[in-house]
Amino acid sequence: MSNLYKSAIGARLAKLPADIPYTRHPGADEDAEADEEEENDLIGDLPGSGLGPPALPANNPRNKPKRAPNSAFSPISAAGFFEDASQVSLPDRGLDCRVYYTSPKSKNGTIMVCHHGAGYSGLSFACFAKEVTGMTKGECGVMALDARRHGKTTSTDPTDSDLSIGVLIQDFCALLQTIFPDPSSSPTFLLVGHSMGGSVVTKSCPILLEKKYKIAGVSVLDVVEGSAIDALPHMNSLLNARPDGFDSIEEAVEWHVSTNTIHNANSARISIPVIFQHKEGSNPPYQWRTPLRSTAPYWLSWFQGLSKAFLAARSARLLVLAGTDRLDKELMIGQMQGKFQMVVVPGVGHMLQEDDPTRLAEILVEFWRRNERVVIGIKKVGDL
């Protein structure tokens, strides 16, 4: 690989975050025999987004011989991470929504309500949920959902593929209103959203407040409007870095770990199996449950207006990032004005809630303790 190619990759992969983290293919440095013309063709496809270069055909898993599944990457049940997993019917939304839930000790306590990013599921918060429960001794509950067209949430209309931000917001609010129909007796919500989910919870906050629900805060995980939107024109090229599917679930988990898409193998063994479905007769047989290329019409809607909505939220605001170079102008100004708290977690990738669930739990439990008493006024944190 020439110095020109290496420097081009380095310059272009150092900038922006998005829903698909940067993954360096293990065999990239071994392609030393490529000629200059081939290198220049590949350089032309590399955006400055941190999403990863297009996969090289020689290293594509589809061209590799099948091998026995590696038991080190076999699925782990989420049963030990949440108290309950259930399907919640939302007939007005045409959804049967999968919800993972650990309730707080107190009936009127606080729940961290977690919304995942594009292509993932509520189980991306499984390890985080267990950490929060342990750190708070059950005082703070955790709820995570599978969004429309994700995970184990199903639709009564299989032709309805709309994933625009308005639809996702309505789904999210309808779910909370169904589970907690009376705002006066509802637990306090601390809204947590990763990437695409950060936009959903942020823009749902004023709707829930208007309906008289108590919101302790809004926490957005590793997404900034400016950098996300800048990356969108390059997304299709970057999706070439993802295999079409895998021969086994173990292989899918291993790919996510070996490419550093998820740094924590145990978390990947919990969260990755549900984002694939077995399709008889397909090659490979395990296909992405939510092909990200199919969500392209909705990418802009997910992130447009996020910074303004975040700064305008009438609650405590927390932005947790995996890198310091990701603030857009609006958020930089807001940070200088002290409008929100920002924490950078070192040593993690885009899937920070999976990469270091302990550190994220520490950050959010501290955020909860500091802000819950503001919402409830009289009761101090810990009083049941």
Q: Which residues are catalytic?
A: 195, 222, 350
| Torsion on CA atoms 278, 114, 321, 374, rounded to nearest 10 | 180
Query: Cβ–Cβ contacts within 10 Å for residue 126, how many?
Result: 29
CA distances, 29 to each of 9, 197, 239 (Å)? 12, 34, 20
What are the residue ranges of helices labelled H in 216-350? 225-231, 235-238, 249-258, 265-271, 299-303, 306-312, 329-336
Tokens of 62: 């589809």
- Collapsing DSSP to helix, strand or coil, 252 comes out as helix
Query: Cβ–Cβ contacts within 10 Å for residue 344, how many?
Result: 15
Residue 114 near residue 144, CB atoms below 8 Å: yes
Report d(CA 303, CA 320) in Å as an integer: 16
Residue 162 near residue 190, CB atoms below 8 Å: no
Residue 249 near residue 286, CB atoms below 8 Å: yes
Tokens of 326: 């990701």
Tokens of 51: 């999403």
